[in-house]
Structure 1
Amino acid sequence: MRRRLAPVATAVMVLSSICVTPALAAAVSAQDTMFVKAAHQGNLAEIAAGEDAQEHATTECVEKVGAVLVRDHTKLDADVKLLAGKLNVTLPGSPTAEQEKELAAVQAKAGTPAYDAAWLKSQEAAHTATLALIDQELSAGENSEVKAAARSARPVVAMHLDMVRGGECHAGKDAGKVRAGHSGQLAADDSSLALAGVASLAGGGLLATCGALWFLHNRRRSAERR
């Protein structure tokens, strides 16, 4: 009986180590923590800037871009908050002092054509910095979930940058809505969603396999006691 069950026991040991790997990989490095906090503050700053543009811009184009920023960064931030809660990362309650100072400087020109130009220039700089932050996380981050969030948010931020690039307004660059709960994936990105679904199914299959082998392991132990 023991000889016949030995291979099963070996398989249980191997797959048990695979099953605990995700838990071990969930460590949050200083880089990962910094990114989650900075992403949240960036989202807050972009939401505030977008709302301000809807109120004070003198052109319809800038108003539309402001609305896109509010729409997308609100959904991006919802995902960031969920991730922060899962990883026990405490988020700041407001944008950085520098971000608030930058918006105040733009607001000083409210209601004039100078406002629109200043707002576009400010948003170009902000989204360029955000892309650099994302790329830093992708190259130096360690937590797979944080890196996945950065990777999914990147095309959204890049789209926003295209809408304000060169200090000019391009509201027509809006490629689509962001799906809530998918860390910023664009609705048009069906291929990425399909891959995510396959990965999810694969993960479920692994869990099922681990459960089955654990059951066989328990049966082996019971048989040995007889």
Structure 2
Amino acid sequence: MNAVRRIAVAVTLAALAGISAPSAFAAAAAPDDAPFLKAIHQGNLAEIQAGEDAGKNAKATCVKTVGATLVRDHRKLDTDVKALARKLGVSLPSGPSQEQKEALAAVQSKAGTSGYDGAWLTTEDKGHVETIKLIDHEIDSGSNSQVKAAARAARPIVEDHLDMIRDCKAELNPS
């Protein structure tokens, strides 16, 4: 039985049993979309930490500005992700992934040097490109309409961040 049919059956059975459809739908759909919610949550946490770090260690004004924007926007995005995960019964990790922690540590090791801003921007560029791919995959392949809607809503924000990062890179390294 495919996922859509399982969801329809769960919602129908829940309605017959007097259970609210959203809770039955959440239980049926969450496993397919849980990895996305977990990854996006970890990404938000990593971006908040990276943005805060840029506020402390960046030399260039544009890096500090991008960092502050990331903190503000990823806090808002993460509030939405946590609410949706709670609604769907998805447990979220408590912090960034090991890979994200290592990437931030590598950038932090350059704090106080002329290499910090460039390393920060390069790491952020890569992270935002990967996040857009993850979002696009969820939009194309996700099974829960609420999670797909959240991914569609987040995409332009992440895309704007990538544009800001690249504009800052160009400002610091004009060709």
**TM-score of the aligned structures, taking structure 2 as reference length:** 0.81
* Aligned residue identity for 1:107: Q
SS in 2 for 1:113: coil
How far 1:169 moved relative to its partner? 5.7
Aligned to 2:57: 56
Give aligned-pair identity as a percent.
55
SS in 2 for 1:168: helix
Instruction: Write out per-residue CA displacement over residues 161-208 of structure 1, whole angstroms, 9 at most, x where no aligned residue.
Output: 1111287166xxxxxxxxxxxxxxxxxxxxxxxxxxxxxxxxxxxxxx
1:150 aligns with 2:151: yes
Aligned to 1:105: 106
Matches within 5 A, 1:175-186: none
How far 1:68 moved relative to its partner? 0.2
How far 1:44 moved relative to its partner? 0.1
Instruction: Write out per-residue CA displacement over residues 108-137 of structure 1, whole angstroms, 9 at most, x where no aligned residue.
Output: 000222000000000000000000000010
Check conservation: 1:134, 1:150, Cα contact below 8 A. yes
Aligned to 1:79: 80
Question: How far, CA to CA, are the matches of 1:88 and 1:113 in structure 2?
Answer: 45
Instruction: Write out per-residue CA displacement over residues 18-39 of structure 1, whole angstroms, 9 at most, x where no aligned residue.
Output: xx59646543254410011001
Check conservation: 1:41, 1:96, Cα contact below 8 A. yes
Aligned to 2:135: 134
The number of residue pairs the alignment matches comes to: 152
How far 1:91 moved relative to its partner? 0.4
* Aligned residue identity for 2:57: H
Question: How far, CA to CA, are the matches of 1:36 and 1:22 in structure 2?
Answer: 21
Question: How far, CA to CA, are the matches of 1:149 and 1:71 in structure 2?
Answer: 17
**TM-score of the aligned structures, taking structure 1 as reference length:** 0.63
Check conservation: 1:127, 1:160, Cα contact below 8 A. yes
Q: Which has the larger radius of gyration?
A: 1
* Aligned residue identity for 1:48: Q
* Aligned residue identity for 2:37: V
* Aligned residue identity for 1:79: D
Which stretches in structure 2 are left out of the alignment for 5+ residues? Answer: 1-11
Check conservation: 2:30, 2:88, Cα contact below 8 A. no
Question: How far, CA to CA, are the matches of 1:75 and 1:167 in structure 2?
Answer: 23
* Aligned residue identity for 1:113: S
How far 1:90 moved relative to its partner? 0.4
Check conservation: 1:54, 1:67, Cα contact below 8 A. yes
